[in-house]
Structure 1
């Protein structure tokens, strides 16, 4: 335990939470009656609540605490930079040593000619800024009609108006006003939900063809970009068919459509590489967005990296009198950039990507053992991002009725036993810190198996039918 002194007034904190906090993504009808999880400390792959209870953090904060909790080296780097220079305006040709060094450092890891970096405050603003850059670029090039954006259902790209509009999770789109005039969603490339009897190869042809058909329907001269997470993360860790990423990238090149790879989740080691686009999926995007693992969540920071081919067209004589009028008060924040540099030092020095490559497959394999449970329909993902999909019928793949509240039930049983998971309707998502050990994986899977078995028995006892 990092600090045994858990002297918190839990009742007072709970009351203040209910009276004053507005939490994202919670059932508003239950916020006044449910007990909040109040996390006080963290160390390595674990967190501790205010009662002092240890839990393996199966969600890595929010896909982001890649190097683990409690890194003294990170705390020191943040403090040292705050003492030197806590902040300065990022506007105009103004930089700080950490932001300049970080920009260069990121381009060393980036594929192709992604040699220019625009810093933001997080993943949502990175995506928002990248999309605005694409529209700015086409206006600059005298192509004002080339503005249509293609994305996918069950994608998640952020919470600003523009980034939320290109997101495609149905649960996030209710009661929200979103941009629809130039944004188009393709069906999610989810092999588990492919038509009965269709081969994986044929399904791959279908979902790749969805992109080409949409580009031709809209007219290539009107399509600005295709934005895609390599794996659809919070939409349920959807793993597209083999070759999908490369084939869709090639279609974009064929029709002069920019390809944006949203690596906010998959970057900085989660799939075993700093950026997964080229080493894992064989693509060299025009733009990569990143955040989360960029600082391992120690402080907020986001960025998009853009191709030298694109950026060079905007500069020198052609760009005289023009400016990309997009930015944030905390763009390229020196403290955040110093944290990101130290984060990269740790990832490289401790061979965290190598650890993910070695241990990630074991994590996935251990979770796959849960498929012997009647209500587990699918276990999918890669390395340290995995989803378990629960079903009411393994043969028909029927989604459990909402009243089962199956993932929430499992979540509530896991916490007292020392495991934190992410419940999403009938899905359970895992994205642990990248320093989790094999022993901690075994502990987590054992807890999860026991809790899922209990929930399965409880549901049957309540009269719900689960068909094996």
Structure 2
């Protein structure tokens, strides 16, 4: 076969690729932006345009792009041992060392690790482990799962069924509904009228207790929660909410599964946010993204000694779930080098220090037209646009406000992620104070321009 060297990457992609979350009309009309190079927090496209990537890839390029020592670690491991499976009774040195390192970093007795190919497969496996564990405990009917509205837990059949983010549930797909329940999104900005944050928290906890009473504590096995709901709009829950939901789980023998695919590895200034940020000791943590800073696809499910001991009690059982590339030696070598860099350069500290500046600068955008709320913690922030600041009413869909703002930013060399009426940001942990100023100034200019355009078109 002859390679199509006379065709551009843009043309080949447009003619042959199905992207995740493809929107067919715009894609067939405009194709995709072709990225050719990355260094630190910046990306370059095939026309030589440079962008500051405030999206951080997809919440993942924590140590920044283009690091030679990461490339060398990956290449060195590929030369030494490019692949070795980890099924049943085989392992490899990087896999064993990374499992031990994650056990050391994880809170409490989370000393056991099951490697996956990404965040979706980590959550998928956690759902299966909930049912497996409860069955081993003599409670085979305790397999129902609980999650929240506006949550995102992945894109496998099971993980997307557990999540429930607006826009993900399309009529052409079917989702698992039996045995999966969803509670209200813990978004204080959208709390019922007249309900302050403390009362809203009480309401949410009572809702969980009511669901347990309705379904039966003897049937609910696991509760899935992102500490901060990332793709659902960077939803920071009410003060004390996660701790109280965990306490409910403790009372009813419900496993608390923390989906830290986004919040782990420095996004909030901690290795893991559940305990350090919210005072919650999960039974299971799912992680990916920042585990390798996006250099190699990889995920992990970290779980407690208590779960291991229950599953392994009689010595005869098999845990029949796993992936060809679980514990991949090259991916594990990349993760180990990634963690080494984060420790050596104190990137958790930088995320805390610069994250405080980022929060403050982004919060100032609330004074602008269109902006109803800016929310988030450290290096994950969402800007929510509204038609009316007082009522918090949303703009009509045809305004496409999030995409308009991201397009205006892109024209000025800044990438922010549009999700409907939202724009979310999760910049690399190597971000500087000067970078914060650039993001803030550029985003402010973009919002003002979009507000003027929408006013001229009669859409606000």
Indicate the residue corresponding to 2:50 in structure 1.
54
Indicate the residue corresponding to 2:116 in structure 1.
120
Indicate the residue corresponding to 1:268 in structure 2.
265
Indicate the residue corresponding to 2:345 in structure 1.
350
Q: 1:421-460 counterparts in 2 under 5 A?
A: 421-460=416-455
Structure 1 gap ranges (5+): 1-8
Question: 2:431 and 2:373 mapped to 1: Cα distance?
Answer: 23
Question: 1:48 and 1:445 mapped to 2: Cα distance?
Answer: 21
Question: 1:319 and 1:182 mapped to 2: Cα distance?
Answer: 28
**Which of the numbers 48, 64, 67 marks the counterpart of 1:68?**
64
Q: 1:313-462 counterparts in 2 under 5 A?
A: 313-315=310-312, 318-462=313-457
Indicate the residue corresponding to 2:282 in structure 1.
285
Conserved 8 A contact 2:366-2:373: yes
Name the stretch that deviates more: 23-32 or 337-346.
Answer: 23-32
| CA-to-aligned-CA distance 1:268-299 (integer Å, 9 cap, x gap) | 00000111111111011100000000000000
Indicate the residue corresponding to 1:181 in structure 2.
178
Q: How many residues align?
A: 455
Per-residue deviation, 1:387: 0.3
Question: 1:355 and 1:319 mapped to 2: Cα distance?
Answer: 47
Conserved 8 A contact 1:10-1:50: no
Per-residue deviation, 1:185: 0.5
Conserved 8 A contact 2:13-2:31: no
**Which of the numbers 183, 188, 191 marks the counterpart of 1:191?**
188
* TM-score normalised by length of structure 2: 0.97
Conserved 8 A contact 1:407-1:423: yes
| CA-to-aligned-CA distance 1:168-195 (integer Å, 9 cap, x gap) | 1020011221000000010100000012
| CA-to-aligned-CA distance 1:341-377 (integer Å, 9 cap, x gap) | 0000001010000001111011011011111112000
Conserved 8 A contact 2:56-2:62: yes
Conserved 8 A contact 1:63-1:293: yes
Structure 2 gap ranges (5+): none
Question: 1:321 and 1:203 mapped to 2: Cα distance?
Answer: 47
Question: 2:376 and 2:28 mapped to 1: Cα distance?
Answer: 35
Per-residue deviation, 1:243: 0.6
Secondary structure of the residue aligned to 2:230 is coil
Per-residue deviation, 1:212: 1.5
Question: 2:63 and 2:9 mapped to 1: Cα distance?
Answer: 29
Secondary structure of the residue aligned to 1:389 is strand
Instruction: Note if 1:44 corresponds to 2:68.
Output: no
- RMSD, matched Cα: 1.1
Question: 1:213 and 1:431 mapped to 2: Cα distance?
Answer: 35
Indicate the residue corresponding to 1:248 in structure 2.
245
Conserved 8 A contact 1:41-1:49: yes
Indicate the residue corresponding to 1:15 in structure 2.
11
Question: 1:421 and 1:138 mapped to 2: Cα distance?
Answer: 42
Q: 1:19-30 counterparts in 2 under 5 A?
A: 19-30=15-26
Conserved 8 A contact 1:46-1:56: yes
Secondary structure of the residue aligned to 2:218 is helix
Indicate the residue corresponding to 2:95 in structure 1.
99
Question: 2:17 and 2:23 mapped to 1: Cα distance?
Answer: 14
* TM-score normalised by length of structure 1: 0.96
| CA-to-aligned-CA distance 1:442-468 (integer Å, 9 cap, x gap) | 111111111110010000001122xxx
Q: 1:130-141 counterparts in 2 under 5 A?
A: 130-141=126-137
Per-residue deviation, 1:141: 2.4
Indicate the residue corresponding to 1:308 in structure 2.
305
Question: 1:342 and 1:10 mapped to 2: Cα distance?
Answer: 38
Question: 1:459 and 1:322 mapped to 2: Cα distance?
Answer: 62
Conserved 8 A contact 2:115-2:300: yes
**Which of the numbers 288, 292, 297 marks the counterpart of 2:294?**
297
Conserved 8 A contact 2:396-2:459: no
Per-residue deviation, 1:139: 2.1
